[in-house]
Amino acid sequence: MSEFILVYMLAASEGEAEKIAEALVAESLAACVNLFGGVRSIYKWQGKTERAQECAMIAKTTASNFEALRKRVVELHSYECPCIVALPVEAGHEPYLDWLRGSVAQA
Protein backbone atom coordinates (compact mmCIF):
# COMPACT_ATOMS: atom_id res chain seq x y z
CA MET A 1 0.00 0.00 0.00
CA SER A 2 1.20 3.49 -0.84
CA GLU A 3 2.05 5.76 2.11
CA PHE A 4 0.37 8.74 0.44
CA ILE A 5 -3.12 9.09 -1.02
CA LEU A 6 -5.25 11.65 -2.81
CA VAL A 7 -8.84 11.66 -1.56
CA TYR A 8 -11.39 12.77 -4.16
CA MET A 9 -14.64 14.16 -2.76
CA LEU A 10 -17.64 16.22 -3.88
CA ALA A 11 -19.68 18.77 -1.93
CA ALA A 12 -23.04 20.41 -2.60
CA SER A 13 -21.50 23.91 -2.72
CA GLU A 14 -18.21 25.75 -2.57
CA GLY A 15 -19.14 26.92 0.94
CA GLU A 16 -19.62 23.36 2.15
CA ALA A 17 -16.38 22.27 0.46
CA GLU A 18 -14.49 25.13 2.11
CA LYS A 19 -15.89 24.20 5.54
CA ILE A 20 -14.83 20.58 5.07
CA ALA A 21 -11.40 21.54 3.70
CA GLU A 22 -10.69 23.94 6.55
CA ALA A 23 -11.60 21.30 9.15
CA LEU A 24 -9.45 18.63 7.51
CA VAL A 25 -6.40 20.91 7.40
CA ALA A 26 -6.96 22.40 10.87
CA GLU A 27 -7.27 18.90 12.36
CA SER A 28 -4.16 17.68 10.48
CA LEU A 29 -6.16 15.04 8.63
CA ALA A 30 -4.97 16.50 5.31
CA ALA A 31 -1.92 18.58 4.45
CA CYS A 32 -3.82 20.43 1.73
CA VAL A 33 -7.23 20.35 0.05
CA ASN A 34 -7.76 21.71 -3.46
CA LEU A 35 -11.26 22.96 -4.36
CA PHE A 36 -12.65 22.90 -7.90
CA GLY A 37 -15.94 24.79 -8.10
CA GLY A 38 -18.46 24.65 -10.91
CA VAL A 39 -18.44 20.87 -11.35
CA ARG A 40 -21.49 19.62 -13.23
CA SER A 41 -22.52 16.13 -12.19
CA ILE A 42 -25.00 13.75 -13.81
CA TYR A 43 -25.67 10.63 -11.77
CA LYS A 44 -28.21 7.98 -10.79
CA TRP A 45 -29.70 8.34 -7.31
CA GLN A 46 -32.56 6.21 -6.02
CA GLY A 47 -33.48 5.10 -9.53
CA LYS A 48 -33.56 8.58 -11.11
CA THR A 49 -31.06 10.44 -13.24
CA GLU A 50 -30.07 13.58 -11.35
CA ARG A 51 -28.11 16.70 -12.27
CA ALA A 52 -26.26 18.95 -9.84
CA GLN A 53 -23.72 21.75 -9.58
CA GLU A 54 -21.09 20.61 -7.10
CA CYS A 55 -17.62 21.44 -5.85
CA ALA A 56 -14.89 18.81 -6.18
CA MET A 57 -12.14 18.47 -3.60
CA ILE A 58 -8.83 16.64 -3.58
CA ALA A 59 -7.21 16.14 -0.18
CA LYS A 60 -3.57 15.14 0.14
CA THR A 61 -2.86 12.89 3.11
CA THR A 62 -1.40 9.58 4.22
CA ALA A 63 -3.10 6.23 3.89
CA SER A 64 -3.02 5.81 7.66
CA ASN A 65 -5.20 8.93 8.03
CA PHE A 66 -7.89 7.84 5.57
CA GLU A 67 -10.36 6.37 8.04
CA ALA A 68 -10.27 9.39 10.37
CA LEU A 69 -10.57 11.74 7.38
CA ARG A 70 -13.50 9.73 5.98
CA LYS A 71 -15.34 9.81 9.30
CA ARG A 72 -14.82 13.57 9.67
CA VAL A 73 -16.07 14.29 6.15
CA VAL A 74 -19.20 12.21 6.77
CA GLU A 75 -19.83 14.18 9.99
CA LEU A 76 -19.56 17.54 8.19
CA HIS A 77 -21.25 16.61 4.89
CA SER A 78 -24.82 17.37 3.88
CA TYR A 79 -25.15 14.33 1.58
CA GLU A 80 -26.62 11.03 2.74
CA CYS A 81 -23.95 9.17 0.74
CA PRO A 82 -20.99 11.47 -0.02
CA CYS A 83 -18.35 10.61 -2.60
CA ILE A 84 -15.11 9.91 -0.71
CA VAL A 85 -12.59 7.80 -2.64
CA ALA A 86 -8.86 7.38 -2.12
CA LEU A 87 -6.29 7.03 -4.89
CA PRO A 88 -2.73 5.90 -4.15
CA VAL A 89 0.22 8.17 -4.90
CA GLU A 90 2.80 5.98 -6.60
CA ALA A 91 5.58 8.57 -6.90
CA GLY A 92 6.20 12.24 -6.25
CA HIS A 93 8.69 15.04 -5.71
CA GLU A 94 10.43 13.92 -2.52
CA PRO A 95 10.62 17.38 -0.88
CA TYR A 96 6.85 17.75 -1.40
CA LEU A 97 6.19 14.30 0.02
CA ASP A 98 8.38 15.16 3.03
CA TRP A 99 6.27 18.31 3.57
CA LEU A 100 3.06 16.30 3.21
CA ARG A 101 4.27 13.69 5.71
CA GLY A 102 5.18 16.39 8.22
CA SER A 103 1.89 18.29 7.80
CA VAL A 104 -0.53 15.54 8.80
CA ALA A 105 -1.20 13.72 12.03
CA GLN A 106 0.63 10.45 12.42
CA ALA A 107 -2.15 7.88 12.83
Confidence (pLDDT) at 106: 83
Confidence (pLDDT) at 84: 98
Confidence (pLDDT) at 69: 98
Show the domain range for 92. Answer: 4-103
- Which CATH number covers residue 85? 3.30.70.120
Question: What is the sign, positive or negative, of the torsion defined by CA atoms of 58, 59, 63, 65?
Answer: negative
Query: 70: buried, middle or exposed (CB in 10 Å: 19+, 13-18, 0-12)?
Result: middle
Confidence (pLDDT) at 1: 64
Confidence (pLDDT) at 2: 84
Number of domains in the chain: 1
- Could you report the average pLDDT of every consecutive run of 10 residues in the chain (107 residues)? 93 98 98 97 96 98 97 97 97 95 88
Query: 45: buried, middle or exposed (CB in 10 Å: 19+, 13-18, 0-12)?
Result: exposed
